[in-house]
Amino acid sequence: MKRTTYAGLVDESFVGQEVVLKGWVQKRRDLGALIFISLRDREGIVQLVFSEEFSADALKVADEMRSEYVIEIHGMVKARDAKAINADMKTGKIEVEVHEASILAEAKTTPFEIVDGVEASDDLRLKYRYLDLRRPEMQRNLKIRSKVTKATHDFLDEEGFFDIETPYLAKSTPEGARDYLVPSRVYPGSFYALPQSPQLFKQLLMGAGFDRYYQVARAFRDEDLRGDRQPEFTQLDVEMSFMDQEEIQELVGAWVARIMKDAIDVDVQPEDFPVLDWAESMARFGTDKPDLRIAYELKDISPIAAKSAFGVFSGTIENGGVVKGIAVPGGADNYSRKDLDKLTQYIERFGAKGLAWVKVTDDGFNGPVAKFLNDQHDEIVAAMDAKVGDILLFVAAKEKVVAGALDYLRRQTAADLNLIDENKWAFAWVVNWPLFEYQEEDDRWIAAHHPFTMPNVEDLHFLDEGEDPHQAHAQSYDLVLNGYELGSGSIRIHTMDVQEKMLKALGFTNEAAHEAFGFLLDAMEFGFPPLGGIALGLDRLAMLLAGQENIREVIAFPKNASAKDVMSDAPQPVAKQQIVTDLGLTAPVYAENAGQPNMAEE
| Binding piece for a second copy, criterion CB under 8 A, among 44-52, 85-93, 177-185, 321-329 | 177-185
- Residue type, position 581, single letter: T
Q: Which of 254, 306, 382, 570 binds a second copy (CB under 8 A)?
A: 570
Report if residue 176 touches a second copy, rule: CB under 8 A: no
Q: What distance in Å separates the CA atoms of residue 452 and residue 279, rounded to the nearest whole number?
A: 21
Which 3-state string (H, E, C) describes 242-303? CCCHHHHHHHHHHHHHHHHHHHHCCCCCHHHCCEEEHHHHHHHHCCCCCCCCCCCCCEECHH
Q: Which of 92, 176, 183, 389 binds a second copy (CB under 8 A)?
A: 183
449 is in an annotated binding site: yes
| Binding piece for a second copy, criterion CB under 8 A, among 91-99, 365-373, 475-483, 582-590 | 582-590
Q: Which of 438, 384, 474, 428 minimizes the C-alpha distance to 287?
A: 428
Compute the least distance from the CB of residue 170 to a second copy, in Å. 6
Q: Which of 60, 178, 371, 387 binds a second copy (CB under 8 A)?
A: 178
485 is in an annotated binding site: yes
Output phi, psi for 281, to 5 deg: -60, -45
Report if residue 396 touches a second copy, rule: CB under 8 A: no
199 is in an annotated binding site: no
| Residues whose CB falls within 8 Å of the CB of residue 265, separated by 6 or more in sequence, listed in order | none
318 is in an annotated binding site: no
- Residue type, position 55, single letter: S
Interface of this chain with a second copy, residues 403 to 462, rule: CB under 8 A: none
| Residues whose CB falls within 8 Å of the CB of residue 248, separated by 6 or more in sequence, listed in order | 240, 477, 489, 491, 532, 533, 534
Q: Which of 14, 22, 54, 369 binds a second copy (CB under 8 A)?
A: 22
8 Å CB contact between 237 and 537: no
Interface of this chain with a second copy, residues 36 to 65, rule: CB under 8 A: 40-42
- Residue type, position 324, single letter: K
Q: Which of 72, 76, 53 minimizes the C-alpha distance to 61?
A: 72
User: What is the pattern of x (binds a second copy, CB under 8 A) and - over residues 198-227?
Assistant: --xx--xx-xxxxx----x-x-x-x-----
Say if residue 571 is preceded by a cis peptide, omega within 30 of 0.
yes
| Binding piece for a second copy, criterion CB under 8 A, among 67-75, 322-330, 425-433, 449-457 | 67-75
Interface of this chain with a second copy, residues 465 to 504, rule: CB under 8 A: 494-495
Residues forming a β-bridge with 9: none
175 is in an annotated binding site: yes
| Binding piece for a second copy, criterion CB under 8 A, among 75-83, 317-325, 409-417, 594-602 | 594-602
- What's 55's DSSP letter? -
| Residues whose CB falls within 8 Å of the CB of residue 134, separated by 6 or more in sequence, listed in order | 24, 40, 114
Count the site residues for a second copy by CB under 8 A. 128
Please, which residue, 47 or 235, has the CB nearer to a second copy?
235
8 Å CB contact between 191 and 181: yes
538 is in an annotated binding site: yes
Report if residue 567 touches a second copy, rule: CB under 8 A: yes
265 is in an annotated binding site: no
Please, which residue, 207 or 483, has the CB nearer to a second copy?
207
Compute the least distance from the CB of residue 498 to a second copy, in Å. 11
Compute the least distance from the CB of residue 432 to a second copy, in Å. 22
Compute the least distance from the CB of residue 451 to a second copy, in Å. 15
212 is in an annotated binding site: no
Report if residue 181 touches a second copy, rule: CB under 8 A: yes
Residue 507, burial from CB neighbour count under 10 angstroms (0-12, 13-18, 19+): exposed
Planar angle of CA 157, 159, 161, nearest 5 degrees: 55
8 Å CB contact between 454 and 462: no
Q: What distance in Å separates the CA atoms of residue 551 and residue 553, rounded to the nearest whole number?
A: 5
8 Å CB contact between 213 and 157: no
Compute the least distance from the CB of residue 291 to a second copy, in Å. 28
| Binding piece for a second copy, criterion CB under 8 A, among 123-131, 423-431, 461-469, 474-482 | 123-131
CB contact burial 444-481 (16+ within 10 A = b; e otherwise) = ebbbbbbbbbbbbeebeebbeeeeebeebbbbbbbbbb
| Binding piece for a second copy, criterion CB under 8 A, among 298-306, 319-327, 445-453, 550-558 | 550-558
411 is in an annotated binding site: no
| Binding piece for a second copy, criterion CB under 8 A, among 336-344, 418-426, 452-460, 517-525 | 517-525
- From residue 302, alpha-carbon distances to 287, 316, 326, 394, 401 in Å are 19, 9, 13, 11, 15
Compute the least distance from the CB of residue 335 to a second copy, in Å. 40
User: What is the pattern of x (binds a second copy, CB under 8 A) and - over residues 81-110?
Assistant: -----------------------xxxxx-x
Planar angle of CA 401, 406, 407, nearest 5 degrees: 100
Residues forming a β-bridge with 364: 361
Interface of this chain with a second copy, residues 128 to 157, rule: CB under 8 A: 128-134, 139, 142-143, 145-146, 149-150, 153, 157
Q: Which of 31, 82, 87, 186 binds a second copy (CB under 8 A)?
A: 186
Report if residue 578 touches a second copy, rule: CB under 8 A: yes
Compute the least distance from the CB of residue 476 to a second copy, in Å. 20
Q: Which of 89, 420, 521, 583 binds a second copy (CB under 8 A)?
A: 583
Interface of this chain with a second copy, residues 228 to 267, rule: CB under 8 A: 231-232, 234, 241-242, 247
Q: Which of 132, 56, 63 minimizes the C-alpha distance to 100?
A: 56
Residues forming a β-bridge with 328: 391
Identify the helix (H) or strand (E) that includes residue 478.
strand 476-481
User: What is the pattern of x (binds a second copy, CB under 8 A) and - over residues 353-392?
Assistant: ----------------------------------------
8 Å CB contact between 399 and 322: yes
Q: Which of 286, 228, 155, 214 minimizes the C-alpha distance to 489?
A: 214
Report if residue 515 touches a second copy, rule: CB under 8 A: yes
Binding-site residues for L-aspartate:
175, 221, 449, 492
Binding-site residues for ATP:
221-223, 230, 485, 537-540
Binding-site residues:
175, 221-223, 230, 449, 485, 492, 537-540
